Amino acid sequence: MIVRISSVFVLFLLVIFSAHSIAAEVNVYSARKEALIKPILDDFSKETGIKVNLITGGADALISRIQSEGQFSPADVLISTDVGRLVRAKQLGITQVNADDFVVENVPAYLRDEEQHWTALTLRARPIMYAKDRVNPESLSTMQALTDEKWKNRICIRSSNNIYNQSMISGMIQTQGEAKTLAWAKGLVANFARTPKGGDRDQIKAVVAGECDIAIANTYYLAGMLNDEDEATRKTAQQVAVFWPDQETIGAHVNISGVSVAKHAKNLDAAKALIRFMLTDEAQVWYAETNHEYPVKEGIKWSQTLQDMGTFKAQDVSLSKVGETNAKALMLMDSAGWR
């Protein structure tokens, strides 16, 4: 799918680069898999003539690489799949302020750094998923209720070293405090059906295989399975449904994929233009339709798969705070016996 960017936006880019020496390239360090980001970068190059040099890898590895490269780092842009890593990059001093009214106008405040070091590109939700044939959705309500005795040996989730779970726990700390979050984590661990292992898709598959009845996972993993080319994968995913917890109170936990400008970016104008590009309506539509992630801009249509999962109320806690308490969340999970 090719992203068609408005002529007005292209004209804006041309004005930027005619007013400065034209940047021929921009270097992107991305924790997103190539298939999930390269099409957008290719469209940016087609529209602007700016070459994008893409390096992919794990978020921690890329952050360490930028840090070790120091002032000689070629990185202009850092893309990450979780707010915790973006906050860590800021704390390490390897990002810089990107004061851009376009970002402020298009991204809600809770989805960007107060000091403008990073901004969300897409929104991810982490609700409850359940076996359609074994779980009545009326038996589900809140995340807190997952500690009930009736869920004993019925829950699957990833390990405590997973950043998505760490951010989820950090969000709980923000909404209900450490003591209640620790008690909840202990109760959840007591209801695990197995020792945590694998990724989110593995949790979904475990539900279908009968190893557990419910799982906690990001919706785009299920959406990807529902749209997979492999028929067996699609059939597996079709046996699982999404339940949105805490809709009468704080809302479901959400996280982001996001972006920062590197501290020592050599192609600064191109880096800022790329971030703007990824926040255009057309690019946001592409994210929704192709990657099945929620747009950060209001008014952008979701993919049909996401629509079928239902609308939901999301937590609006500051994601900066979520990232800042990541280490505390991990220690809490360890104390709860979450492995």
| Separation between Cα atoms, residue 38 and residue 49, nearest integer Å | 15
Q: Is 164 annotated as a binding residue?
A: no
Question: Quick one: tokens of 131?
Answer: 């076996």
Q: What is the 3-state secondary structure (H, E, C) of the chain?
A: CCCCCCHHHHHHHHHHHHHCCCCCEEEEEECCCHHHCHHHHHHHHHHHCCEEEEEECCHHHHHHHHHHHHHHCCCCEEEECCHHHHHHHHHCCCEECCCCHHHHHHCCHHHECCCCCEEEEEEEECCEEEECCCCCHHHCCCCHHHHCHHHCCCEECCCCCCHHHHHHHHHHHHHHCHHHHHHHHHHHHHCECCCCCCCHHHHHHHHHHCCCCEEECCHHHHHHHHCCCCHHHHHHHCCEEEECCCCCCCCECEEEEEEEEECCCCCHHHHHHHHHHHCCHHHHHHHHHHHCCEECCCCCCCCHHHHHCCCCCECCCCHHHHHHCHHHHHHHHHHCCCC
Q: Left if phi > 0, otherwise alpha if psi is -120 to 50, otherwise beta: which for 251?
A: left
| 29 marked among binding-site residues | no
Answer for the pair 103, 116: CB distance below 8 angstroms, yes or no: yes
- Cα pseudo-dihedral 310, 282, 84, 196, rounded to 10: 50
Binding residues: 220-221
Binding residues for Fe cation: 220-221
